[in-house]
Chain A
Amino acid sequence: MVNPWIRQNVAMKEAHAELLTLTATRDHRLQATWLHPRSGCQEQVTLEASQEYFPSLTPMLPEVAWDEREIHDVFGYIPNGHPDLRPLLRTPRWPDNFRPLRDRPSARPAWRDAEPDNPALTVEGEGVTIMKVGPTHAGVIESGHFVFSLMGENVLHMDAHLFQNHRGVESLLEGQTVDAVGAIVTRICAADTVSHQTNWALAVEALAGYDSGAGLTLGRIVLLESERVLSHLNDLAQIPAGVGFQVAHQQALAIKEAWQRSLQRLYGHRFLFDTVRPGWVVPVDPEDLLRLVHAIRRQWTPWRRLVEGHHGFNDRMAGVGVTTLAEVIRFGGQGVVSRSAGKVFDARTLLPLYQDLRPVPVVESDGDVRARFSVRVQELEESLRLIEQAAARLRAMPRDARWCPPDAVSGQVVVYTESPHGLNVHDVAVVRGRVLRYHIRAGTYRNWPLLAHAVPGNAVADFPLINKSFELCYSCTDR
């Protein structure tokens, strides 16, 4: 007989539910939270693990392979039957038996005098060469370590070793007061900061039973969409750089700079740090916003014409780094990466936050670099439309009265938003105004394994291009 933990979770997947989080607690509890994309309802499956062991879901649900490895690293619970239980966050420098989320480290551990690298999975055989890239890189990018197995120029296998940027954010959040959490959550990732801030605000408001008014909601939508414009501009600037199309790269950077200067002027920060709190959002003048969208369109439209009319550039992107819909579903892919391969899922369509603004998911089917580029181009325009609509409604809106969360808020809640990089989920437990457990599952976490599947079969020289078209956050993933 199949174990009920496995059976129930597999049934969720078969019912086309999206996995929000799979995580553990200090008292040997495992909890999977699923989202039904039609109804927007959440459903939880829990398991009381027998001390140190629990049955692995990975053989049936490969999308949780990393989640289970992470649980093993930070709690020490062993997923029985996991096909690849190599360390994920853990490095050979961690002291034996150091399990940061089980032990509640008050001080830093005594790091062992060892190299931080974990063993890589490579292909062996005649003519196979191994190429290591990172963790330090030739350009200005985040740190990550990739081990390629190559045959000539062709990639046979790519082993991604991330978590070089692991700071220990979830552990740091434990024990923090409700007031102190915001400044940390804001800085999990600069590219998805508003999404992280909004998740935290939604969590506290849900736990306190506070019903945010329309003004607050619209103010947040404007920020979330401004963030998407900023992030997509950044990613759209990087893709042409990957093929040496410098004009498009520099012009997109110039539009991004103009957008950031406007954000600084309107909201006081070039990345929108510290703009959303429980019961609060940074105020903005809707007329300023409308003028801003108008101004950015004047730069954006000619740029779009430039890149879409450049046949060489479009040919260069077509057919490279393909991800199939079947792989996206199998690995629970999220965001632009999944929509470019034909998956119709955008959490904005489910969020009460977006009310009747009716965001339209942008979907393409080829799953290649070109499709990911194109989805971002279209989503950026959709975001500008949403900002305009929200700003128009804000005009007639009185400002909501300021609300402060009660000191002794308690409870557990799973909240999510659609960040520029996909479904971004926070699983938050608070006891009398202090964080008991804070789990962060960003969209990119599920997309990294997909990247590892999209690269083999391509020339290794195309890795930067494919990588930039996925544009996966390291900081959101590594935490």
Chain B
Amino acid sequence: MDSEDDFMSGLSSEEDNVLQDESDDEGSADDFGFDEPEPDPDVSQKGTVQKKKRSFDINFKVYHPGDIQAQQDELINEVNMILDIRKEDAAILLRHFRWNKERLIEDYMDRPKKVLESAGLGPSTSGPPKLEVIPGFTCDICCEDEAGLESFAIKCGHRYCVNCYRQYLNQKIKEEGEAARIQCPQDGCNRIIDSRSLDVLVTSDLQQRYHDLLTRTYVEDKEYLKWCPAPDCENAIECGVRRKDLDKVVPTVTCDCKHRFCFGCILADHQPAPCDLVKKWLKKCADDSETANWIAANTKECPKCNSTIEKNGGCNHMTCRKCKHEFCWMCMGLWSEHGTSWYNCNRFEEKSGSDARDAQAKSRVSLERYLHYYNRYANHEQSAKLDKDIYQKTEKKMIQLQTASGMSWIEVQYLNSASQALQTCRQTLKWTYAFAFYLARNNLTAMFEDNQKDLELAVEALSEMFEKPVTELADTKLKVEIMDKTSYCNKRRVILLQDTADNLANGVWSWSISF
């Protein structure tokens, strides 16, 4: 086992170079276009190439299930030809090497025996896999020994009855989601059950699941490939941004299913905040759900006018800002009834000394700061949630507007653009508040907050126009205003993201905490 561990860890450390090589290869193939004309563009489509435009954009490709299968088949064929081994074995070796073809070929050339052994393909007794009836056979798993019992063994010779074998595979494939690295059922035997044997053994109802799982290992084994997390989406995204780059770049990708997400952490688009910051912020928000309790403990309603009052400092003498009613924080009774001069409600005195009050005041400052950012973050999140069915709402609005104004479908598209801009900008604004929470105060931060304010104002203005009743929207002057504001919002967003991304790439942000 030890040697295998070493072997695997050596593999991952060299992956960098290999990946680099691979992308170079691809570039040259495109440049020279030596590939033969593709017979069917739908099947062999290499994915949508996203060209780099702005500094916060990154290069990525979207792959559909057929592309992913084709990539695997291509690698298997290559290894099959170069190493002159069966395709089944090539597939097992590739999966064992986590689809690192160069590394596999190199290692295989050096020490084929060891490579085959480590992948569970050691010396063979030859012949295609088949079920056999062996006289006098007893299955070591179920202890059955009836005459005519069919049994099976892979190349290591550990033989079990077909029922036990199938139940074992059923559990591995169906329950444990394993496919590429299912070992021989023998205690301590590491040999992997090859795909030809699995074809003999796996019942037809499991074949599909088994092949799906094999396909998944291909994406899961590659650091530059990730599944689109949108429910029911089967696409994978290729992106060259590595884990170690995540403090410099926020790799945001858009799947063909329209879902925008971060390639680094798979969460929904969180530009401009880097992944680590997002993780910290989300944890803080979860931890500080007791913030709500704090608010409950530190705000009360004025007993006279019911407006919300926050407690200030340690003094229990409260004066309502609105109605000027004076009362005691502890007992909510009239302050005048507590007597004159420095009277404290004794219930408070019992509970806490001045130390406790000082500590409370101190944590209050940091809490207030947090709440400042959190409220704004939550506000945009809330607005985005309210807009969940914005597409239907917008469409309805567009139809109504067509009727009211006589504009054509094309002419009302500006509403769609406006609603999309609102969505995207709110998503960005939301994360600017988490971002700003962790920024140290300096000129750069001040500039960031100016940009943030510009975008925020523009978004709120656009939002207001967008919400206007259809009768007002029919006015062409408003239409022009909305179109202008939409493009202004988009422009402000790009400026903000661009600045932030540049500063992140150059490592010039200073943080109030370390990441």
The finding on whether chains A and B are genuine partners in a shared complex, rather than unrelated, reads no
Which residues does B use to contact A, with CB under 8 Å?
none
Q: Which A residues are closer than 8 A to B by beta carbons?
A: none
